[in-house]
Amino acid sequence: MGLHAWQIMKPIMLAALLAAACCGGAPTYSLAEEAPTVDDFDWGKEKSTGIGIASSLSAPSFNFFDVGDLSYYSLYLVHQVLGSLSNATGVAVDRGLKSSSLSIVHDTKVFDRLRSEKQHFRVLGISDAVIESLAQRASDDTTTCLTMTHSDENGDIKFTIILLSEKFNNCLISGLLGSFGIRGTADVTIRTLTSACVLYEGRRRGLRDRRSLVKETPKLRDVCLAKALEKPSDVNTAK
């Protein structure tokens, strides 16, 4: 179920859940394929132990920016997706933060400038090493979208950069999800939001390895499903 269909279906699904809770009936749709799964997580290895851990944001809040001559086409979608992820994970959007862990440059000339006008990226707070890495990955003239998410040796996501030179590309959504540690999809569904909730609820309980998260997922499913069905937070009025 995609983002737009999901927004339409949310009130219907919530009503079905409430009916089941108060009247003993069963929802008329199946949630089996929407069940959260640890396979949605971005897995890495903790350097000190070598144990596989799920990457996620460590801070309680984050900030972002979306700039460029095409940003008009992505702002609404970015706000909707980040609002939903914020609700699901409990990681607040704080527009007052001086630094941004999510940088979106949505501009028709973003890749031309990446190759020849790197100063445009330095003023956004992107380091030379990261600029060079992005430029190497965008060496093909046909590149229209590129994402990069960097986690440290503890599996803490430090930053995500999304570069986009056309009005829309599915990698924008996959990049937004990746900025929270959700991988392998370019669509916002109840499953991805519920999985995101499990990832962060698990982290708050000190559970980051696969075995622990697999064990905890059934216990968190109901509360996380409720969060996934919530109306997206308004990131414009976030603190």
pLDDT digit string, tens, across residues 198-219: 999 999 999 999 999 999 999 9
Asked if residue 236 is part of any domain, the answer here is no
Query: Model pTM?
Result: 0.83
Asked if residue 111 is part of any domain, the answer here is yes
Asked if residue 235 is part of any domain, the answer here is no
* Phi, psi of 161, deg, nearest 5: -125, 130
Closest to 235 in 3D by CA, of 100, 140, 133, 129: 100
Q: How far apart are CA 100 and CA 96, in angstroms?
A: 10
Report the half-sphere exposure of 44 (CA within 13 A, side-chain side): 18
- How many domains, the chain? 1
Asked if residue 239 is part of any domain, the answer here is no
Asked if residue 200 is part of any domain, the answer here is yes
Whether the Cβ atoms of residue 105 and residue 68 lie closer than 8 Å to each other: yes
Which two tokens mark 200? Answer: 């962060």
The residue segments making up the domain with residue 191 are: 3-228
Asked if residue 237 is part of any domain, the answer here is no
In this predicted model, what pLDDT tens digit does every residue of 32-43 receive, in sequence order?
Answer: 445 678 999 999
Asked if residue 31 is part of any domain, the answer here is yes
Percent of all residues in the chain with a pLDDT value above 70, rounded to a whole number: 84
- What residues have CB less than 8 Å from 66, skipping those under 6 apart? 74, 75, 78, 104, 106
In this predicted model, what pLDDT tens digit does every residue of 32-88 receive, in sequence order?
Answer: 445 678 999 999 888 778 889 999 999 999 999 999 999 999 999 999 999 999 999
